[in-house]
Amino acid sequence: MTSTTSPPVFCGASDAPCNPSRRQLLIATAGVGGALVVGTAVPFVASLTPSERAMAAGAPVEVDIDKLAPGDLMVVEWRGKPVWILHRTPQMLAALAKSEPDLADPGSAVESQQPDYARNPHRSVKPDYLVAVGICTHLGCSPSSAFEPGKAEMGADWPGGFLCPCHGSTFDFAGRVFKNKPAPTNLEIPPHKYLSDARLLIGADDSARG
């Protein structure tokens, strides 16, 4: 009998880790302080997902994103890895340019870290959405959200992004690593394409430019 995959995880724009297991996923939303304005994520179960065996072999994963509010993060599983889908707010997009002087690879020069169509400042097909593998490129820990700009423990000049709790690597809202951090490269961007405004396919990109 074909088994079903676990449902996606929703993470609000809080600083709590979002690290799903293969057997149990949690759904959570939270608000962002400061300048960020976020909506409330509504949990749902993605349809048309492959079996665990097919997914482990690399089958694409189809995800419904129409209920993902600006400022919220969803986590789904592809090839046994957590894949983030972040609906970026205008403030998050504006922070990308501000971060560039402090990034190790702002232009995504390392070709293996993203498909060609994601070698742009927002590292995505659609600027509003980040689709990235949520695994630090240092030693494989899963970074946590640190969305709030100027958060005290991050420093007054922190623009917002992600923090790896294991060794302190930090990434911006496009998954680009900051300078002088243990992580050697930006976060990986998986192949992906949009089947419609509400449907995203992770693991295939033959029509991603359309």
Query: What's the pLDDT tens digit per position in 117-144?
Result: 999 999 999 999 999 999 999 988 889 8
**How many other CB atoms are there within 10 angstroms of residue 78's CB atom?**
24
Residue 27 domain-assigned? Answer: no
Residue 181 domain-assigned? Answer: yes
Residue 28 domain-assigned? Answer: no
Residue 31 domain-assigned? Answer: no
- 90-111 exposure pattern, b = at least 16 Cβ within 10 A, e = fewer: ebbbebbeebeeebbebebeee
Contact 62, 8 (CB under 8 A): no
The whole-number pLDDT of residue 10 equals 54
The whole-number pLDDT of residue 205 equals 84
Would you call 192 a catalytic residue per the annotation?
no
DSSP H/E element including 77: strand 73-78
**How many other CB atoms are there within 10 angstroms of residue 209's CB atom?**
10
Q: How far is CA 112 from the centre of its chain?
A: 17
What separation in angstroms does the CA of 186 have from each of 9, 35, 142, 173, 181? 23, 26, 13, 11, 11
Residue 30 domain-assigned? Answer: no
DSSP H/E element including 53: helix 52-56
Query: What's the pLDDT tens digit per position in 26-35?
Result: 333 333 333 3
Quick one: tokens of 41? Answer: 């994520």
Residue 29 domain-assigned? Answer: no
Range of the domain at 65: 1-21+36-210
CATH number of the domain that residue 116 is part of: 2.102.10.10
Q: How many domains is the chain built from?
A: 1
- Which residue among the candidates 87, 138, 167, 192 is catalytic per the annotation? 167
pLDDT for 40 beyond 50: no
Whole-model pTM: value is 0.72
Three-class HEC string of 90-128: HHHHHHHHHHHHHECCCCCCCHHHCCHHHCCCCCCCCCC
Torsion angles phi and psi, residue 64, rounded to 5: -90, 120
Residue 117 domain-assigned? Answer: yes
pLDDT for 148 beyond 80: yes
* Distance, CA of 163 to CA of 142 (rounded, Å): 9
Residue 26 domain-assigned? Answer: no
The whole-number pLDDT of residue 52 equals 60
Q: Read off the pLDDT band of 37 (50, 70, 90).
A: very low
